[in-house]
Amino acid sequence: MKYLFIESRDPFESTDTQFFSDLVKGVKKLGRETTLFLVQNSVLSTRKGAKYNDQIAQLAQSGVTVLADGFSLKERGIDHLVEGIEVSNMDQLVQLLLEPETKAIWH
């Protein structure tokens, strides 16, 4: 089973993003293939020097594939990302959602 977590909230407004990050980390520790796709305001935490970017960096360092929507980044003027984050797009998100044996969880 593969897990695809989609985060749309930013940690500056939603305190439950820490819980969601912990959930992603826990699933990865179970040995599952885990991807976190950041979209909308959740990309705010990908900026180098941002207050909450350590959560995202730790996930990437633990082996979680962290993808950030390029359109969301562009709309927010973000072009310098924390190490380990890949720029992606909605086409790739749809492909990930359609992969067999994939469970998606949107927050």
pLDDT digits (tens, 9 = 90+) for 47-106: 888 888 888 899 999 999 999 999 999 999 999 999 999 999 999 999 999 999 999 999
Supply the CATH classification number for the domain 2-31+41-106: 3.40.1260.10
> Which region among 24-28, 42-46, 48-52 has the lowest average model confidence (pLDDT)?
48-52
Closest to 91 in 3D by CA, of 40, 14, 41, 37 = 37
Question: What is the Cα 16 distance to its own chain's centre?
Answer: 14
DSSP at 46: G
Domain boundaries, the chain: 2-31+41-106
pTM reported for the whole predicted model: 0.94
